[in-house]
Structure 1
Amino acid sequence: MVILPELVLLIGALALFCVSLGKNVSEQAAKNVAIVFGLGTFAGTLLAFNEQGTLFYGALAVDQYSQLFKLMISGALAVFLIFSQSLKAIDQKVKPEYYMFLMLSVLGLMLLVSSVELMAIFISLELSSFALYLLVPMRDDATGVRVQMEAGMKYILFGVMGTGFMLYGMSLLFGLTGSTYLANVVEFYAEGNLQPTAMIALVLVLAGFLYKLAVFPMHFWVPDIYQGASNETTGFIATIPKLGAVALLIRFLSLSGEHSTFLVNLMAALALASMFYGNLSALVQKDIKRMLGFSGIAHAGFIMLGLLSLDSQGYGLAIYYIAGYVVMNLACFLVISNVSQKGENLCIEDFNGLYKRQPVLAFVLAIGLFGLAGIPPFVGFMGKFMILTSALSGDHLVVVCLAAINTAIAIYYYLSVVKAAYTGEPGEQPDVTVHPIIQVTGAVLVMAICIMGALPAKFVAFAGTVVQSIQ
């Protein structure tokens, strides 16, 4: 039972592999298999939520912390599979393979959040990453887009660079501690061994995780990959892998103790750089996916602010924030994927008059963007407010003031999309027809955004408690 979700994903990937072997593969069959196993993974995670144990000689630890992240990952996967059923911009011949690699990527993330040994972390991260690299160039060029191959090459090259930094840092950690288990690394740092080599090792390892989270300066891949990948693939990249990155980042930061001035200053600097770079770059974007890509860099900065306290409360805030961010982004990409008629990239003006063409999608988009902008009473506002309050209580007044300025900057470009949807004229834009299940999924996401914003204390308290179970 302890690895029930992983087993369901693995069986699902094998089933999709068998489906892909047929000559005249039914697109509907591959779609149905993916949805069944995606929902099965979520159900399996719920059943195994209270399970605990260790596997593979202690390399994987199943605890409340890892189970919480698995629940969020599997839930986001289920929502993603429901609203991305058509895969408009993916070549029909490779759709079974697309779903297969999607399952393998999520399997890697599931293993990643349970990994407490350096080699297990490396293998899990690479399983997730390489499966994801293959999804980007699967975009069909029938939509007129020709940059997916370039985007795929950039993704893998930058990914290999981030992996190289991380692997070198892990080799230093092994040389310093004589072990690859995180428990021994914890003991090493707890004893006050903060010589330059130890800090360099920690920074290099963190660089690999910051790449997945798209924190400055490991952000260079974001805009081109978001633009070059299909709308559905971008929606996946922008959400689910970031859950794994935050889970791993918190595990590593918990090693340093509560009084590491070096790490606090480093994270504060990276957070501010990410926020200013992301928000200022997003201001001038016309492509909606590039805009969301740059805004994602800015939101990564806010997540880093939540980690400045280096305690369970700050980690709980970071978990709450990333959970809300994933839900809000899923809402936005649900709309993008369904407004796009043939899977083409959308510009902001393509949303003109959306409230007349499809009022439900316009409402879902507005709520998602209001949340990302930090407008009350949605989860984005409560997340930013609580993180800024926590940073202020930690005597980071300058950081809080600069972060507040960034919140104001972000409101402009988010609301410009809402303005186009509700005050623009449709012109020759076609009407948008969506399946009722898409509308229901959008309504569920809107409810989640509102409920998480209305009851933040319960979510944060639960996440803070779960963090204390880290082994």
Structure 2
Amino acid sequence: MVILPELVLIAGALALFLVSLGKNQSEQKIKSVAILFGLGTFAATLLAFHEQATLFYGAYAVDQYSQLFKVMIGAGLAIFLLFSQNLKAIDCKVRPEYYMFLLLSVLGLMMLVSSIELMAIFISLELSSFALYLLVPMRDDRTGVRVQMEAGMKYILFGVMGTGFMLYGMSLMFGLTGTTYLQGIFDFLGADNLQPVAVVALVMILTGFLYKLAVFPMHFWVPDIYQGASNETTGFIATIPKFGAVALLIRFLSLPTGHSAFLIDLLAVLALASMFYGNLSALVQKDIKRMLGFSGIAHAGFIVLGLLSLDTEGYSLAIYYIAGYVLMNLACFLVISNVSQHGENLSIEDFNGLYKRQPVLAFVFAVGLFGLAGIPPFVGFMGKFMILTSALRADHLVVVCLAAINTAIAIYYYLSVVKAVYTGDPGERSLVTVHPLIQATGVVLVMAICLMGALPAKFVDFAGAVVQHLP
């Protein structure tokens, strides 16, 4: 029961592997198996939520903190599988493998949020990442996009570079402290042992974590991979892996050390750089996925801003923000995946008059974009407001002012898409036909975005209570 979600994911990956061995593969069968195990994973996270244990010689911690993230990862996976079941840009012949690698990536994320030892973190991170590297080039050439192979190569090369930095930092840290366990490392660093080599090791280890979150300057893979991957694959990369990155950062930063001032300065610089680079780059984008990619870099800056205080309040707000961000991004990619008729990339102009062609998707898209822009009463507004308030209480006035400017910049390009949806001329663009289940999934996402925006205190308080159990 302790590792029930992980076992369900392993079983799902094995089942899809067996399906892939068959000669006459039924598209409906493949889809049904994937959705079944996606929903089963979410159910397993709920059943195992109150379980607690330390496994594998203390390298794997199943606690309330890790279980909260597993529930969010499981929910994200279930929602993703429900709205991306058509996989328009993925050839039917490789769909079993596609879903198998998808589940293996989620398995890596589940393991990542429970890992409290450097080697366990490395193995989990690589399992999650390498499965994603294989999903990007699976895009079908018939969509008219020819850059998926280039995107896949860039993704793996940049990922290996980030991993190399992280591994070198881990080796330095082990040589300095004599342990690979996070608690032992920070016990050593907390005893006024912060040597220059320890600073270098910390920065290099953080590089691997920040790459997953797409924080500046580890952001450079985002626009090309978002554009080259299929719409569904991009939707996954842009959302669920962020949970693992945030969980790892909080666990890493929550351990008491003597280097808080250094970390705060570093995080402040990274947060502002991410926000300005992401928002200013998003302003000039015409491709919707590239725009969301650059905006994701900016949102990563807001998440890092929530961590500046290095306390329970900041960590709980970061959890709240990433949960809301994933919901809003899933809503946007639900629309993108289903408006794209043959899996092709879409420009902002392709959404002209969407409210006339498919009013439900237009409404879901508008809510997702309003939330990402930080407009009330959606979760994006409350997340940004509370993070800025928390940073202000921690005496980061300059950072807060610059972050507020970035919020204003972001409103422009998000609302330009909403303008196209509701005031643009559809021209000869055809009506969009969507399965009722996908429409229902969109409505559920809208309700969740509104509910989290209306009742933020309940989620933040719960997240705060969970974070307090961290060592």
> Corresponding residue for 1:344?
344
1:54 is paired with a residue whose SS is strand
> How many residues end up aligned between the 2 structures?
471
- Preserved CA contact (<8 Å) 1:258 1:311: no
Counterpart amino acid of residue 56 in structure 1 = F
The DSSP-based 3-state class of the residue aligned with 1:272 is helix
Q: 1:349-364 maps to which residues of 2 (within 5 A)?
A: 349-364=349-364
C-alpha contact (below 8 Å) 2:17/2:100 kept by paired residues: yes
Equivalent-residue separation in structure 1 for 2:37 and 2:309 (angstroms): 39
Residues 218-268 of structure 1, C-alpha deviations (whole Å, 9 max, x = no match): 000000000000000000000000100000011111135486111100100
Query: 1:423 corresponds to which residue?
Result: 423
Runs (5+) with no aligned partner, structure 1: none
Aligned 8 A contact 2:187 2:257 in 1: no
Name the CA shift for 1:234/1:225 in 2 (closer, same or farther; >3 Å): same
Give the structure 1 partner of residue 321 of structure 2. Answer: 321
Alignment-derived partner of residue 245 in structure 2:
245
Query: Aligned with 1:391: secondary structure?
Result: helix
**8 A contact 2:192–2:258 mirrored in 1:** no
1:430-449 Cα offsets, whole Å, 9 max, x none, are 10010110111001000000
1:255 match: secondary structure: coil
Using the aligned pairs only, state the percent identity. 84
CA distance in 1, matches of 2:468, 2:326: 23
User: How far apart are the structure 1 equivalents of 2:306 and 2:258?
Assistant: 14
Residue of structure 2 equivalent to 1:96: 96
CA offsets 1:345-401 (integer angstroms, 9 cap, x no match): 000000000000000000000000000000011100000000000111111111000
Runs of 4+ in 1 over 4 A off after TM superposition: none
Determine if the alignment matches structure 1 residue 128 to structure 2 residue 128.
yes
Q: Which residue of 2 aligns with 1:117?
A: 117
CA contact (8 A) 2:324 2:452 kept: yes
1:297 alignment counterpart: 297
Given residue 463 of structure 2, which amino acid in structure 1 is its aligned partner?
A: A
SS at match of 2:116: coil
* Contact 2:191-2:257 at 8 Å conserved across structures: no
Please show how residues 130-279 of structure 1 align to structure 2 within 5 Å. Answer: 130-257=130-257, 260-279=260-279
Secondary structure class of the residue paired with 1:320: helix
Amino acid at match of 1:196: P
Distance 2:396 2:310 in 1: 13
CA distance in 2, matches of 1:188, 1:257: 8
CA distance in 2, matches of 1:359, 1:102: 31
Matching residue's letter, 1:93: K
SS of 1:122's equivalent?
helix
- What SS does the corresponding residue of 2:255 show, helix, strand or coil? helix
For residues 159-198 of structure 1, give each alpha carbon's deviation from its aligned partner in whole angstroms, at most 9, with x where no partner exists: 0000001101111111111111111012112212211111
CA distance in 1, matches of 2:41, 2:308: 33
> CA contact under 8 A between 2:189 and 2:258: conserved in structure 1?
no
Residues of 2 paired with 1:446 and 1:297: CA distance? 23
State whether residues 169 and 203 of structure 1, in contact with CA within 8 Å, keep that contact through their aligned partners in structure 2: yes
Q: SS at 2:136's partner residue?
A: helix
State the Cα distance separating 1:62 from its structure 2 match: 0.1
Instruction: Tell me, in whole angstroms, the C-alpha distance in 2 between the residues paired with 1:350 and 1:336.
Output: 10
> 1:258·1:309 contact (CA, 8 Å) conserved in 2?
no
- Give CA-to-partner distance per residue, 1:408-453, whole Å, 9 cap, x none: 0000000000000000111011100101101110010000000100
The 1:292/1:258 distance shift into structure 2, 3 A limit, reads: farther
User: 2-side partners of 1:256 and 1:226: how far apart?
Assistant: 37
Partner Cα separation in structure 2 for residue 171 and residue 57 of structure 1:
20
* 1:66 pairs with 2:66: yes
Q: TM-score, normalised by structure 1?
A: 0.99
Question: Which amino acid letter does the alignment assign opposite residue 31 of structure 2?
Answer: K
| Match in the other structure for 1:6 | 6
- How far off is 1:157 after superposition? 0.2
Relative distance call for 1:258 and 1:50 in structure 2 (3 A) is farther
Residues 239 and 326 in structure 2, CA contact (< 8 A), matched pair in contact too: yes
Using the alignment, how far apart are the partners of 2:267 and 2:256 within structure 1?
13
Q: 2:344 is matched by which residue type in structure 1?
A: E
What is the identity, as a one-letter code, of the residue corresponding to 2:248? L
| AA of the residue aligned to 2:290 | R
Q: Distance in 2 between matches of 1:72 and 1:393?
A: 29
What's the CA shift string for 1:274-296, capped at 9, x where partnerless? 00000000000000000000000
Q: Does 1:29 align with 2:29?
A: yes
Q: Secondary structure at the match of 1:430?
A: coil
How far is the alpha carbon of 1:469 from its aligned partner?
Answer: 1.7
What are the Cα deviations for residues 273-332 of structure 1, in whole angstroms up to 9, with x where unaligned? 000000000000000000000000000000000000001110000000000000000000
Change (3 A) 1:218 1:165: same
In structure 1, C-alpha distance between the alignment counterparts of 2:361 and 2:318, rounded to whole Å? 29
What is aligned with 1:306?
306
1:71 and 1:434 map into 2 onto residues whose CA distance is 28
| TM-fit CA distance, 1:92 | 1.3
In structure 2, stretches of 5+ residues that fail to align are: none
1:467 and 2:467 matched: yes
Task: Give the aligned residue type for 2:424.
Answer: G
| Cα distance between partner residues in 2 of 1:193 and 1:437 | 57
* Contact 1:189 1:255 survives alignment (8 Å): no
Cα distance, 1:470 vs. partner? 2.1
Query: 1:69-84 maps to which residues of 2 (within 5 A)?
Result: 69-84=69-84
Alpha-carbon distance in structure 1 between the residues aligned to 2:311 and 2:175: 27
C-alpha separation in 1, matches of 2:165 and 2:256? 19
Aligned equivalents of 1:193, 1:392: Cα separation in 2: 30
Q: Is 1:380 aligned with 2:380? A: yes
Cα distance in 2 for residues equivalent to 1:98 and 1:258: 45
Tell which deviates more after alignment, 44-53 or 22-31.
22-31
Offset from partner CA, 1:193-224 (integer Å, 9 cap, x none): 21111111111000000000000000000000
Q: Give 3-state SS (helix, strand or coil) of 2:254's partner.
A: helix
User: For residue 50 of structure 2, what is the aligned residue in structure 1?
Assistant: 50
Contact 1:308 1:314 in 2 (8 A): yes
CA distance in 2, matches of 1:201, 1:462: 33
3-state SS in 1 of match to 2:193 = coil
Aligned AA (1:300): A
Q: Give me the whole-angstrom Cα distance separating, in 1, the residues matched to 2:318 and 2:307.
A: 7
